[in-house]
Amino acid sequence: MKKILVFSLLIMLGSCGKSTEEKQRIIEIDSLKTEIRELQRAMDTLSDQLMKKNYVTKDFSSYFDSIPEPEKFLIEKLKEKSELIPKKAVLGGTMHFIEVSFINDNLILAEYEDGHIMGRAIYQYKMDKNGKLKFELLSELKD
């Protein structure tokens, strides 16, 4: 009987150690946790950049060379063209642009409102050889 008890005890002690398969799973879990932390850090960095709108690289055409602040110039010119807003004002409001962001060097995302309704749209801008700036509504964004 003592032999059976000692043998059973040895078997139980031997089975308490982690198997090779369990060790591999633990290593894999640790590796995945590290990857998740790295991806979270990358996502946080991208979110910060998007919030600060630092993700845009603008390479204005040579037509903008004579304009000291092309970004400001474009925003002001678009804000003067409320007729480009695809929604009509309601309840006596007047549609106007409230926020303008650059998507790239020839596209703008513009938010607009009239105090009652609001929306967003994507516009393409071009300056012709004569220095005339043109905006074209490409898409109204649906929420």
pLDDT at residue number 38: 81
On the question of pLDDT at 135 being above 50, the answer is yes
| Total Cβ atoms within 10 A of residue 130 | 6
The ranges assigned to domains in the chain are 2-52, 62-141
The conformational region for residue 141 under phi > 0 = left, psi -120 to 50 = alpha, else beta, is beta
Note the pLDDT tens digit of each residue in 32-72: 898 888 878 777 766 665 555 544 556 666 667 777 887 88
Tell me which amino acid residue 78 is.
Answer: L
| Residues in the chain, overall count | 143
Q: How confident is the model at residue 55, as a pLDDT?
A: 47
d(CA 82, CA 112): 9
Distance (Å, whole) CA 80 – CA 57: 24
Whether the model clears a pTM of 0.85, i.e. scores above it, the answer is no
Angle in degrees, CA 5, 11, 12, rounded to 5: 90
- List the one residue out of 100, 140, 94 whose CA is nearest residue 117: 94
- Write out pLDDT tens, residues 89-134: 888 888 888 888 888 778 888 899 988 899 999 999 888 777 788 8
